[in-house]
Amino acid sequence: SSYQNIVVETRGRVGLITLNRPKALNALNSQTMEEVVAAARAFDREPGIGAILLSGSEKAFAAGADIKEMSSQAYSEMYLADWFAHWDNFTRVRTPTIAAVSGYALGGGCELAMMCDVLIAADTAQFGQPEIDLGVLPGMGGSQRLTRAVGKAKAMDMILTGRRMDAAEAERSGLVSRVVAADELADKAFEVAETISTRSLVASLAAKEAVNAAFETTLDQGVLFERRVFHAAFATEDQKEGMSAFAEKRKAEFKHR
Ligand code: HXC
């Protein structure tokens, strides 16, 4: 492939994106994030892909945005380039995304993981927003997504002191959904991605939209959105197949339409 800082492969219905800048602990420079967004969007357009699994290395999911790339930027340069705005496009991907986090997920690395729909952590994972130590603050959603994930008390604590959260605290606090042994992370995370990918694609995409609506709207509007989309699911072949399979006591074979 034409990517320099990531490795991209397809396994069954799962699209795999692996951050691959080992010498910089997967620090996210512009090139790397452009590649991540491009690869995720390409998978999103492929009807044969039902889940996207994003991983780093054993030592680091990603140690942050690239400090060396940023350090000499002036305000006007950052503002005019709208620095980090492009990264948001990762959250516009409709296919479910799974982050497999081992080792450091700091700053932009933590923020990228939080942009994923499902977070699975190795017991070695360390989450943090240490930007305060650099004289700045989170810049790609950390102050918003961490606060929504773990609440104000822990978000303020982490963002103002720069302290890290280990995997156990991250699970306790609702930042990640599962913690697994480090040497099992790749297999377990793939299993989760594969499970998601084999379900009805229309249902998965709609379910992701519905959950995300919970962050953007009132309860009443969110419940209404869910109900409308639920009704619409009855226009799909997969709904007929899923419910017939249940009645016939067999495994559903979704056609993903
Ligand atoms: C650029 C980085 C980097 C980063 C690590 N490296 N993190 N380069 N940007 N974020 C590079 C190091 O410079 C070093 O390169 C190599 O990776 C290995 O790192 P070491 O520090 O030697 O490893 P270690 O001693 O094991 O320490 C690991 C670490 C430490 C604790 C993760 O690297 C660290 O504190 N990194 C910075 C974490 C951080 O502050 N992240 C937030 C970034 S700001 P050389 O060439 O020296 O060998 C951000 C938010 C953006 O993400 C929002 C606005 C700023």
Q: What is the mean pLDDT of the chain?
A: 97
User: Tell me: the pLDDT tens digits for 120-139?
Assistant: 999 999 999 999 999 999 99
Measure 39 CA to ligand 1 centroid, in angstroms.
24
Ligand 1 contact via 65 beta carbon (within 6 Å): yes
Q: Please state the rounded mean pLDDT for residues 50-69.
A: 98
Complex ipTM over 0.85: yes
pLDDT above 80 (res 233): yes
- Reply yes or no on whether 111 is catalytic: yes
- Reply yes or no on whether 131 is catalytic: yes
Q: What's the pLDDT score for residue 59?
A: 98
Q: Which two tokens stand for residue 13?
A: 């219905």
Determine which residue's CA is closest to atom 13 belonging to ligand 1: 24
Q: Which among 27, 63, 111, 171 is annotated as catalytic?
A: 111
Enumerate the β-bridge partners of residue 126.
104, 166
Q: Please state the rounded mean pLDDT for residues 241-248.
A: 98
pLDDT above 80 (res 1): no
Distance between CA atoms of residues 176 and 193, nearest Å: 15
Q: What's the pLDDT score for residue 256?
A: 86
User: Tell me: the pLDDT tens digits for 18-56?
Assistant: 999 999 999 999 999 999 999 999 999 998 999 999 999
Exposed/middle/buried for 162, CB within 10 Å: 0-12, 13-18, 19+? Answer: middle
Please report, rounded to a whole number, the percentage of residues in the chain having pLDDT higher than 70: 100
